[in-house]
Structure 1
């Protein structure tokens, strides 16, 4: 299950793990004008862990999810 919310400065997608065993914490993806952040609570650290992707990295990640194993270079627009 996931939710999508449009905030003032970002689009926020929350992914909820509905699997059977070994459920993971929710993942929150925030798309801003200049970057994308991915956050998940880590119980071992008792803290939220965040990574930040440039928009180029986010586009490459989205493309990679639909490609077979290999090495690729995304074509830059312009």
Structure 2
């Protein structure tokens, strides 16, 4: 399950794990104009962890989900590999 909310400065996507008996904490994705942050609570450390991706890293990640093993460099804004 997931939710999508449009805030003033970001689109916020929350991913809720509805899987097996051991569920992971919710993942919150904030999409800003210049970056994307991914946040998840770490119960082992009792703290929230956040990583920040540039928009080009997000583009590369999206392309990587559909490509076989290998090394790639995207050259076009539409995400096609060369």
Under TM normalisation by the shorter chain, which class is it?
over 0.9
Superposed displacement of residue 42, structure 1: 0.1
Q: TM-score, normalised by structure 2?
A: 0.89
Match runs of 1:30-69 below 5 Å: 30-69=30-69
How many angstroms apart in 1 are the aligned matches of 2:66 and 2:21? 26
Please state whether the residue corresponding to 1:75 is helix, strand or coil. coil
Q: Which runs of 5+ in 1 are unaligned?
A: none
Displacement of 1:76 after TM fit?
4.2
Runs of 4+ in 1 over 6 A off after TM superposition: none
Q: Distance in 2 between matches of 1:73 and 1:21?
A: 39
Relative to the length of structure 1, the TM-score reads 0.93
1:23-52 deviation per Cα after TM superposition (whole angstroms, max 9, x unaligned): 100000000000000000001111110000
The two structures, once aligned, show a CA RMSD in angstroms of 0.9
What's the counterpart of residue 19 of structure 2?
19
User: Structure 1 CA distance, aligned partners of 2:26 and 2:64?
Assistant: 22
Structure 2 gaps, min length 5: 78-82
